[in-house]
Structure 1
Amino acid sequence: MKLHNYFRSGTSHRLRIALNLKGLEADYVAVDLRNEHHLQAEFRALNPQALVPALEADGRVLIQSPAIIEWLEERFPSPPLLPADPLARAHVRALAAIVGCDIHPLNNKRVLDKLRKDFAADTAVINEWCGTWISAGFDAIEAMLAADKRRGDFCFGDKPTLADVYLVPQVESSRRFKVDLGRWPLIAAVDAACSQLEAFRRAAPANQPDAG
């Protein structure tokens, strides 16, 4: 497998975590978003949407991190990222979707670039924008974690699931946008538990070859 990704991309980060939890290795191909490498013809030939990540596997190019992670779960089912019970699976998917559908898209680089270029948004405005959507989503996640009395150290149960795969990169991004995480102690505790696992440490932006 060959992973085309960017060290600080939240979608790339979540895919790296998923690969690591599955015990899978992929050749790391850096796509520097700062220099707009993703917009060049060579990368567009791989992914017409010109977004990271893209995963070359089984003779195909897979795009969109949710689709890639679902493929990983089906192609390499052990260890699972989703619980066996259908209701529990729906719960874990909902936690992941709060990040993947309702927080991350509004904090995406192309959205922030649009705000900077066309609406003259400075760093303070960008941080406020990101903080608004992060806070709304994290308030919901914190409430869901608090309501789950059977929860262990992670978002669900005693092992990391898809929910943790999505949450940890968003926590990392939140720090970059100067969001005070103190109001969400359960999210902070999940992030701390994940940080003890090698799969999460290896996937962290600071530990990627293109970091800097």
Structure 2
Amino acid sequence: MGDSGEKLILYSYWRSTCSERARIALNLKGLDYEYKAVNLLKGEQSNPEFEKINPVKYVPALVDGDVVVADSFAIILYLEDKYPQNPLLPQDLKKKALNLQIASIVSSSIQPLRSLTVLQYIEENLGSEKKLQWAQLQINKGFTALEKLLAGVAGKYATGDEVLLGDVFLAPQIYAGVKRFAIDMSNYPTLARLHEAYMELPAFQAALPERQPDAPSSP
């Protein structure tokens, strides 16, 4: 529940890594929320009703009483400010900057370049083989940078032994790299180790794509 007594509402798509970030943050902070599915493959993000929630027509979007926040980064920072329990940003400025940097690499240098709209465009114009090659190129470029950034600082989690903002952004991207884009994680031992650690955490497990109400049923 939000502190207004109204249940938080998250507009989400099961396989969206951006939505998964928001789900993890909500889970880590122990916040109950209503899940409203937006089927990106059916174009539901372009429905006029959803466009009122988020004019740029992306998920996720969060409704907290009379506050509407779209964009996963903005949502998570809003949750951090309003619901300070289980903080995701440390007080130490160096570590805080590192967590913001990790989140930014994922959210601006990896995910948008292999987003659904980009991959659909590549597939339509260049073919499905080029689509996967493009996604792998962008993910590997980002993972190479992250591996170098974290190799000397990671503890149990990305920046130490506490789950923080960087982990919230890393976990969905690594999971997608492994499950959807056939990334060879042997090239990234630090990221591979973090992936295993995230998979043991209930807040992360509950946010996994296949555990969402709009995920397709197994055949």
Structure 1 stretches of at least 4 aligned residues deviating more than 3 Å after TM superposition: none
Return the letter of the residue paired with 2:146. I
The answer on whether the counterparts of 1:7 and 1:208 sit within 8 Å (CA) in structure 2 is yes
Structure possessing the higher relative contact order (Cα contacts under 8 Å, 6 or more residues apart): 1
Question: Could you tell me which residue of structure 1 aligns to residue 188 of structure 2?
Answer: 184
C-alpha displacement of 1:199? 0.1
Q: What RMSD in Å do the two structures reach over aligned CA positions?
A: 1.0
Question: Could you tell me which residue of structure 2 aligns to residue 12 of structure 1?
Answer: 19
C-alpha displacement of 1:47? 1.1
Question: Could you tell me which residue of structure 1 aligns to residue 35 of structure 2?
Answer: 28
Return the letter of the residue paired with 1:139. T
Unpaired runs of at least 5, structure 2: 1-7
Question: 3-state SS of the aligned residue for 1:4?
Answer: strand
Question: 3-state SS of the aligned residue for 1:147?
Answer: coil
Select 2:60's aligned residue among 33, 39, 53: 53
Question: 3-state SS of the aligned residue for 1:129?
Answer: helix
Question: Could you tell me which residue of structure 2 aligns to residue 171 of structure 1?
Answer: 174
The answer on whether the counterparts of 2:23 and 2:207 sit within 8 Å (CA) in structure 1 is yes
- Following superposition of structure 1 onto structure 2, how do residues 117-132 of structure 1 map, counting pairs within 5 Å? 117=124, 119-122=125-128, 124-132=129-137
Return the letter of the residue paired with 1:185. P
Deviations 1:124-163 (A, max 9, x none): 2111101111111111111111122xx3210011111111
The answer on whether the counterparts of 2:10 and 2:62 sit within 8 Å (CA) in structure 1 is yes
Question: 3-state SS of the aligned residue for 2:102?
Answer: helix
Q: TM-score, with normalisation over the residues of structure 2? A: 0.92
**Cα distance between partner residues in 1 of 2:67 and 2:99:** 28
Question: Could you tell me which residue of structure 2 aligns to residue 94 of structure 1?
Answer: 101
Question: 3-state SS of the aligned residue for 2:62?
Answer: strand
Q: TM-score, with normalisation over the residues of structure 1? A: 0.95
C-alpha displacement of 1:8? 0.2
The count of aligned residue pairs is 208
Unpaired runs of at least 5, structure 1: none
Return the letter of the residue paired with 1:203. A
**Cα distance between partner residues in 1 of 2:54 and 2:103:** 24
The answer on whether the counterparts of 1:4 and 1:29 sit within 8 Å (CA) in structure 2 is yes
Select 2:157's aligned residue among 154, 159, 164: 154
Question: Could you tell me which residue of structure 2 aligns to residue 105 of structure 1?
Answer: 112
Identical-residue share of aligned pairs (%) = 39
The answer on whether the counterparts of 1:3 and 1:56 sit within 8 Å (CA) in structure 2 is yes
The answer on whether the counterparts of 2:20 and 2:172 sit within 8 Å (CA) in structure 1 is yes
